[in-house]
Amino acid sequence: MSEKFLIESDSIKNFIEEVVKDKDVEPFWKDEIIISVLLSDHSDYFFEVCKEELLKDTQELLKRLTFLIRIACKEVDADVFQNLGLKRVNLFHLKYVLTKPKGRGWESLIKFVYENLDQIGISSIYFFLPIIQDWSSKNKEGGTVRYAGLIALQYYEWLIQEDKFYSHDEAKNQLLFTIIYSSSEIKDELERIFEEVIKNKWKSHRDPYYDLSKVILTKIEGLRASEVLPKYVLQLADLFWYSLPEEDYYRYSVNKVEDSFNIKESLTEYFPASAYQTPSYWLLQFALRETIDFIIQFTNKTVEAYASSDLDEGQVEEVEVCIEDGEPVKQYISNRLWCVYRGSQVSPHILESMHMALEKFFLERGKNTDSKTLEWWLLYLLKNSNSASISAVVTSIVLAFPDKTFNVAKVLFRTKKFFLYDTTRWGLEQSHKGSLEILKSGFGINYKNEIYENERINACDDEHRKFALEPLCLNYQMFRSEGVSEEEAEERQKAIWNILDEHYSQLPEKSKQTGADKTWRLYLARMDRREMSPTTEEVDEGIAIQFNPKVDPELLEYSEKSIQRSSAAMKYMSLKIWAELKMRNEEGYKKYEKYENDPKLALQEVKEIVSILTGEEDLDASGDLSQGDEAFILMNASIPGTVCSVLVKYHIKTMTEEEQAYCKDIVMDTALASLRPGYRYQIGDGLQSAISVLPILLYNFPDDKDLIKTILLPTLFDEYPVDMGNTSFNAFAIRTIHELWETNFETAQSLLLGYLLLKPKYEEFQKRLREENIKEGVYGRSENKEIDKFISENEQPLNDVTESNISLDEIGGIKELVPCNIYNIG
């Protein structure tokens, strides 16, 4: 057939035309002939000869041809295997085989459709979307790619103009991916679109080009646009990610972490955080300077908002970063900020992913970048950022390439707080990989998330994660690599000693030193080579070096007491783990036999914890713990609520009345926490466990029915998201009420009626409060503060609910909808 095109063009034209038009020819033979033509290098003849037949009526032949080319005109995409380093692959052993278009027919078909688009009708072109996506996904340049992109773009704009919806997600993706894959050939058209989007601030889901913008910013398939139009993608990112409260105040219906940073983000859009989430990592490769400037500017304004919010109030500090030949740079710092790039504290996923991308880029480039260039970029980051989150990334790069970055290390060493926060980061590293693996398995295998999860898990294995600024400072004084001369090593020692002497000079007199000052003195003692008497010892692995820092006796005593306090804070960890595992009914709880065999031992330890937390017991005299010890509170505050919930759920019958009452009070107090000002839900804080056992308490302590209702009803109004699946806080109360339908019908019914009565009032209350806040310039809010105010304004209706004085008659139109045999309406 192909040869006939060359030597007998007229006869073959007639033959093809006759076969296509002849209704007596079997469809099978027609298909074979069409496929042969499409696979040849002369398929343009076919479209010339059969144009009329292809375009007539409803284009049935064109649609048939589209189907045939997708199944018969493809070949194995060997490039994929070559890119993976695989030279010989047995295709029969593969579960899936990747293919690519084969034959001139693809180009002829796409060109034909584009040139006859008006006759075909843009509204009917949906059947052609798989063709142009298949082609553009494998071919990034050329006239055919432009045709494909223009077809997709025209169809997309027709959908926007007609306000049409996609028939399904696959069709939407085919359309948008084709536009993005064709970016290099429709660059001018996309620039026009992006300029309109940015000028008009189109970022609502009902705005034009919203879906295209979101794909570019959220999906890996959108990376082609970042490569071709990086500056526009950066502007889109700023438009979509940053949101001033006054521009988008209705979003502040729940007080998420993102709100405190003025970041607009769905909980699932960039979950899990990763260097590969957001286009940042690739934009750094396509437009380095512009992307770094964007990351700095975006971080600066979001962290400025965070520092002004009530999130981490009292914990955000300001430090000075002293760079030679320049004014000191002021930066905000907190544990949350320092750990943004590691994702070990709760921060907006966008901000985490952006910092992770920045770190990954410099870790990869740093291997082959000369010292001068690498230091220039790191100092540029330090000079222009107001956030220690950027300094933490710089610290990571210095830890990874210490020999190349000594001039940057000197800058970091001058800021005392950097040592302290990086030590905390290093401590979190010890369990971070395990936490990520648990998170991955906890959400189940999700192939869409796996690339992000694996990237983060693998990042934990980087060698420099084992180090922190403190040992780095000492290493510079003790060791030198082959690339560092002895003279340079001595110069580095002197520079560090000057910095340490500067820190010594800033210490107050010993009589006026606080615990924080003494802790800093311990850091200095461990970092100062001049105050050490190193010894060596041969061990199986080689030679072990003991540095033996000289420490003042009073400082040594302080250090020992600090260790004792830390040990005291960890004393009850086995109790905590047992209770959490047992509450989730995970097999691991059986390993803690001392509590399984003697639950009252658990209760005894709870009483010890409560005594310390409430100040009834002060162990500082024994050197174990001071009443207000922050570490103890952090590690143990949730234990009483969780343990008492376990005892109520599994061991209430074995306890005395006094013990039952004690556990009841602890559980109730824990469950009431969400109604107190300042409460923020944290996983594992004991509240979920406490709410779950309220039905058991109601059965055993019926006199507390009103208090239990008072806890459950307001909790139903709280829609604060508590996990990455966007589960609302009120889900805890909902599950408990489901159980009450089986165990205490009357209470469940009164809560339902109370919800039906008060939920509309709560929505109106929220709306009114938002409007009042906007007038006063207040945009963020605390859910529990609103509930507290709502309770005070609706005291009587709430009392009616708790006392079961609400009937269906009070809820307009509801009684008629409820069968009498279902609800006890009296």
Q: What is the tens place of the pLDDT at every residue in 428-439? A: 888 788 778 866
- The closest alpha carbon to 484, from 599, 557, 406, belongs to 406
**Among positive and negative, which fits the CA dihedral 306, 310, 316, 319?**
positive
CB-CB contact of 558 with 518 (8 Å): yes
Note the pLDDT tens digit of each residue in 450-481. 888 899 999 999 999 999 999 999 999 988 88
Burial class (CB in 10 A: 0-12, 13-18, 19+), 754: buried
Note the pLDDT tens digit of each residue in 564-583. 666 666 789 899 989 988 99
Number of other residues whose CB lies within 10 A of the CB of residue 274: 25
Using CA atoms, how far apart are residues 736 and 675, in angstroms rounded to an integer?
17
Which pLDDT score, from 0 to 100, does residue 717 have?
A: 84
Using CA atoms, how far apart are residues 211 and 172, in angstroms rounded to an integer?
9
Structure tokens at 808: 């269906």
CB-CB contact of 405 with 378 (8 Å): yes
Indicate if the pLDDT at residue 251 is higher than 60: no
Note the pLDDT tens digit of each residue in 8-28. 556 666 666 676 666 767 777
Confidence of residue 630 (pLDDT cuts 50, 70, 90): low
CB-CB contact of 606 with 670 (8 Å): no
Which residue did the predictor score with more confidence, 493 or 42? 493
Cα 344 to chain center, whole Å?
A: 11
Average pLDDT over residues 34-49: 84
Q: What share of the chain is helix, strand, coil (3-state, %, to 5)?
A: 70, 5, 30
CB-CB contact of 38 with 68 (8 Å): yes
Indicate if the pLDDT at residue 377 is higher than 90: yes
Q: Which of 92-106, 396-410, 543-557 has the highest mean pLDDT?
A: 396-410
Could you give phi then psi for residue 682, rounded to 5 degrees?
-135, 140
Per DSSP, the three-state class of 698 is helix
In order of 34, 81, 86, 87, the CA distances from 94 in angstroms are 30, 12, 13, 14
Per DSSP, the three-state class of 532 is strand
Average pLDDT over residues 383-407: 97
Burial class (CB in 10 A: 0-12, 13-18, 19+), 764: exposed
Which pLDDT score, from 0 to 100, does residue 45 have?
A: 80
**What 8-state DSSP symbol labels residue 674?**
G
Which pLDDT score, from 0 to 100, does residue 625 have?
A: 43
Confidence of residue 382 (pLDDT cuts 50, 70, 90): very high
Using CA atoms, how far apart are residues 277 and 296, in angstroms rounded to an integer?
18
Could you give phi then psi for residue 100, rounded to 5 degrees?
-145, 160
Note the pLDDT tens digit of each residue in 339-360. 999 998 888 999 999 999 999 9
Average pLDDT over residues 727-742: 88
Residues 6+ apart with CB under 8 A from 593: none
8-12, 117-121, 266-270, 753-757: range with lowest mean pLDDT? 8-12
Average pLDDT over residues 807-816: 54
Show the CA angle centred on residue 175, arms to residues 172 and 179, nearest 5°.
Answer: 135
- The 10 Å CB-count burial string (b at 16+, else e) for 530-548 is eebeeeeeeeeeeeeeeee
Indicate if the pLDDT at residue 589 is higher than 60: yes
- The 10 Å CB-count burial string (b at 16+, else e) for 236-248 is bbebbbbbebeee
Which pLDDT score, from 0 to 100, does residue 695 have?
A: 95
Residues 6+ apart with CB under 8 A from 10: none
- The 10 Å CB-count burial string (b at 16+, else e) for 558-574 is bbebeeebeebbebbee
Which pLDDT score, from 0 to 100, does residue 586 have?
A: 82
Which pLDDT score, from 0 to 100, does residue 274 have?
A: 94
Average pLDDT over residues 638-649: 95
Indicate if the pLDDT at residue 774 is higher than 80: no
Which residue did the predictor score with more confidence, 85 or 60? 60
Which pLDDT score, from 0 to 100, does residue 271 have?
A: 83
Indicate if the pLDDT at residue 715 is higher than 60: yes
The verdict on whether omega for the bond into residue 402 sits within 30 degrees of 0, i.e. cis, is no
Indicate if the pLDDT at residue 706 is higher than 70: yes
Confidence of residue 130 (pLDDT cuts 50, 70, 90): very high
Which residue did the predictor score with more confidence, 641 or 37? 641
Indicate if the pLDDT at residue 73 is higher than 50: yes
Using CA atoms, how far apart are residues 59 and 66, in angstroms rounded to an integer?
11
Which pLDDT score, from 0 to 100, does residue 4 have?
A: 58
Confidence of residue 562 (pLDDT cuts 50, 70, 90): low
Using CA atoms, how far apart are residues 56 and 146, in angstroms rounded to an integer?
26
In order of 156, 208, 232, 265, 293, the CA distances from 199 in angstroms are 20, 12, 12, 21, 21
Indicate if the pLDDT at residue 674 is higher than 60: yes
Q: Which helix (DSSP H) or strand (DSSP E) does residue 537 occupy?
A: strand 535-539
Which pLDDT score, from 0 to 100, does residue 439 have?
A: 67
75-79, 151-155, 526-530, 602-606: range with lowest mean pLDDT? 75-79
Confidence of residue 621 (pLDDT cuts 50, 70, 90): very low
Burial class (CB in 10 A: 0-12, 13-18, 19+), 460: middle
Using CA atoms, how far apart are residues 317 and 306, in angstroms rounded to an integer?
12
Which residue did the predictor score with more confidence, 364 or 519? 364
Structure tokens at 279: 């286009």
Per DSSP, the three-state class of 538 is strand
Which residue did the predictor score with more confidence, 345 or 367? 367
**Among positive and negative, which fits the CA dihedral 808, 811, 815, 817?**
negative
Indicate if the pLDDT at residue 265 is higher than 60: yes
Which residue did the predictor score with more confidence, 256 or 304? 304
Dump the DSSP string for 315-376: T-EEEEE--TTSPPEEEEE-HHHHTTTTT-S---HHHHHHHHHHHHHHHHHHTTS-HHHHHH
Note the pLDDT tens digit of each residue in 190-246. 999 999 999 999 998 889 999 999 999 999 889 999 999 999 999 999 999 998 875
Confidence of residue 824 (pLDDT cuts 50, 70, 90): low
Note the pLDDT tens digit of each residue in 716-732. 888 776 655 557 788 89
Burial class (CB in 10 A: 0-12, 13-18, 19+), 551: middle
